[in-house]
């Protein structure tokens, strides 16, 4: 019992870390959708050009992205923690769907974030060109990598122990 409670607590902790990292990423997308420009240039010249040339479309796309990122950040933890309550009501499809989608999502975040992070490190070593973009990749792709790793760890721990509210 104590081991199960400890594993559950650790799983919730990793879900919280993943949720915080995903929320930070979503906050940047939301900030850019609202017209903010800070660190937008670190995404790449295409981002600033798109926002300048077609602001309505760019802001709408960024808002949708922010909402998807926020959902991906928060929903796995909510699905895990609400499973027992929903199971008692025979309503487990939604948590199972969310957690099922989270598995490949976490791997995608790790692969995307890891590859881009390594590419930015190599780019910084190889060239002084576009340094701000490379620093942006280190920051944002680092968030993707850590978000994916925390989410995958939480999912592995959650699979080992069902959430039991105290």
One pLDDT digit (tens) per residue for the chain, 166 residues? 445 556 678 889 999 999 999 999 999 999 999 999 999 988 878 888 999 999 999 999 999 999 999 999 999 999 888 876 666 676 667 888 899 999 999 999 999 999 999 999 999 999 888 888 889 899 999 999 999 999 999 999 988 765 555 5
Residues 6+ apart with CB under 8 A from 50: 57, 58
∠69-73-77 over CA atoms, to 5°?
155
Phi, psi values for residue 37, rounded to 5°: -120, -15
Length of the chain: 166
Model-level pTM? 0.86
Q: Check if the beta carbon of residue 49 is closer than 8 Å to that of residue 164.
A: no
Distance separating alpha carbons of residues 98 and 111, to the nearest angstrom: 20
Q: Check if the beta carbon of residue 161 is closer than 8 Å to that of residue 39.
A: no
Distance separating alpha carbons of residues 51 and 54, to the nearest angstrom: 6
């Amino acid at each position: 019992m104590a081991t199960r409670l400890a594993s559950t607590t650790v799983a919730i902790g990793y879900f919280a870390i993943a949720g915080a990292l995903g929320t930070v990423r979503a906050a940047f997308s939301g900030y850019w959708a609202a017209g903010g420009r800070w660190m937008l240039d670190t995404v790449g010249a295409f981002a600033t050009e798109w926002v300048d040339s077609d602001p309505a479309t760019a802001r709408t796309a960024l808002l949708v992205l922010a909402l998807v990122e926020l959902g991906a950040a928060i929903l796995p933890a909510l699905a895990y923690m609400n499973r027992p309550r929903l199971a008692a009501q025979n309503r487990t499809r939604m948590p199972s769907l969310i957690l099922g989608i989270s598995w490949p999502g976490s791997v995608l975040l790790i692969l995307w974030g890891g590859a881009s992070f390594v590419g930015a490190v190599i780019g910084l070593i190889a060239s002084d060109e576009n340094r701000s973009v490379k620093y942006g990749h280190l920051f944002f792709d680092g968030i993707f990598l850590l978000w994916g790793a925390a989410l995958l760890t939480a999912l592995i721990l959650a699979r080992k122990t069902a959430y039991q509210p105290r």
